[in-house]
Amino acid sequence: MVERLLIKALQGGENTKIMTFTGKKIKKMPSTLEKLPALKTLDLQNNLIPEVCPEIRTLTQLTSLNLGNNLLEAVPEELKYLVSLRKLHLFGNRICRFASGVCDGLQNLILLNLNNNQLTWLPQEIGRLKSLVYMSINHNQLAIIPTELCSLLNLVELQLNYNQVIYIPEEIKFLKDLQKLLLARNNIKALPNTFCDLENLRILDIAGNLIQMFPPGFQNLKLREFYCEGNPLLLKRPVITTHHKDIWSLQISGRLWPTSWTTQHLSKQNRKVKCAVKGKCHTKNELTSRFVMDQLEEKNPLLMNAIDSYPQVRDIISPGKKCAICGKPFLTIWLECVQFIHPSKNCKVSRNLQLVPVQILICSYRCFMQRSPNVFGVADA
Ligand SMILES: [Zn+2]
């Protein structure tokens, strides 16, 4: 039947632009396709095709290829010859890998749909799909988002629902055009601080992950839709302080910093939790780093000159953060706190979401004592 359809197409001449063979139980791609070099759209979805035919490489005018719901096991290498391809649908196959080199030829691809496959990883070469605007890999088994994906600077929409993603790389900040990010039903414990650099992000779905609170500055994102149900979010339920032992003021001295203390707690589902300070015995390094960072902020000419001769020092202090209370920098030791923020009225949110827990980092106990009443010390479970 397929051959009959093809013959009909061939009668239409070499200029046939669109071919559709959906749901025809095709097991082998018709090699006669090579006689249709002007083909723009080829739709072969809902068939039984396990591999593409080598002749497909002659279709250099093809802009849209749909091989959804077939039996492919890899993103086929032959696709690299389809240099005009803009839309590629490979959903509902058994794809677990990319053939090597395939991304090299797909320089004009703007849409890639790999939903419902068996991918456990993405190759680094995914970063070569420089024109990609829409990428959808829902319902796979990805654990890691390669940093190379964050070099796809034209990406506007990224869908990774129903995978096993553990964390989001800091490099996500480079996706400045990203407007829609769907990460529902993964294993993400925290979003990176750089997440708040996604200034064009309007839709975020992070439902069904392992997030307790959102990174500092999260409230500045201009989200129009935000879904976060099904996460173990911190709730605003302060519980009574139990004891204050080991609380030392964080001053420049030879003493060690406290490794833990209890203060104002939050309860998580009515369970008592313990406050903690990040860091162990890095006191001296931390104090030196704070001094250097502070002096650089104040534009101390001596240190400004010296830092040029010590790039390794610059590297060490570059991840420095700033205290939410006093604005002074710190490096490896801080107090983790949480602030509860009402979602914006212009934003559609998960049902029952009253307050969004947003992380706040504070440099010292002295600053902690000056916090607003809406800021609470955070506690490890
Ligand atoms: Zn401070």
Give me the phi and psi of 312, to 5 degrees please. -65, -30
pLDDT in tens, 273-323: 233 344 444 577 778 888 888 888 888 888 888 888 888 887 887 777 888
Q: Do both 177 and 208 map to the same domain?
A: yes
Q: What's the CATH code of the domain at 17?
A: 3.80.10.10
Q: What residue ranges of the chain have pLDDT lower than 50?
A: 243-281, 381
Domain boundary among 227, 246, 263: 227
Nearest of 58, 68, 73, 54 to residue 20 by alpha carbon: 68
Nearest-5° Cα angle at 84, 81 to 88: 85
Q: Do both 221 and 244 map to the same domain?
A: no
Q: Do both 80 and 150 map to the same domain?
A: yes
The CA 357 to ligand 1 mean position distance, Å, reads 20
How many distinct structural domains can be found in the chain?
2
Q: Do both 80 and 139 map to the same domain?
A: yes
Residue type at 158 in one-letter notation: L
The CA 252 to ligand 1 mean position distance, Å, reads 14
Q: Do both 160 and 138 map to the same domain?
A: yes
Q: What is the pLDDT of residue 271?
A: 29
Q: Do both 165 and 208 map to the same domain?
A: yes
The CA 322 to ligand 1 mean position distance, Å, reads 8
The CA 362 to ligand 1 mean position distance, Å, reads 5
Q: Do both 25 and 130 map to the same domain?
A: yes
Residue 276 Cα distances to 132, 215, 289, 380, angstroms: 43, 17, 22, 7
Q: Do both 185 and 292 map to the same domain?
A: no
Q: Do both 252 and 276 map to the same domain?
A: yes
Q: Do both 33 and 65 map to the same domain?
A: yes
The CA 307 to ligand 1 mean position distance, Å, reads 24
The CA 190 to ligand 1 mean position distance, Å, reads 23
The CA 253 to ligand 1 mean position distance, Å, reads 17
Domain boundary among 176, 195, 227: 227
Q: Do both 316 and 171 map to the same domain?
A: no
Cα–Cα distance for residue pair 357/16, rounded to 1 Å: 57
Cα–Cα distance for residue pair 75/151, rounded to 1 Å: 21
pLDDT in tens, 31-69: 888 888 899 999 999 999 999 999 999 999 999 999 999
Q: Do both 23 and 144 map to the same domain?
A: yes
Cβ atoms of 115 and 138 closer than 8 Å: yes
Domain boundary among 204, 227, 250: 227
The CA 326 to ligand 1 mean position distance, Å, reads 4
Question: Which domain covers residue 147, as residue numbers?
Answer: 2-227
The CA 239 to ligand 1 mean position distance, Å, reads 24
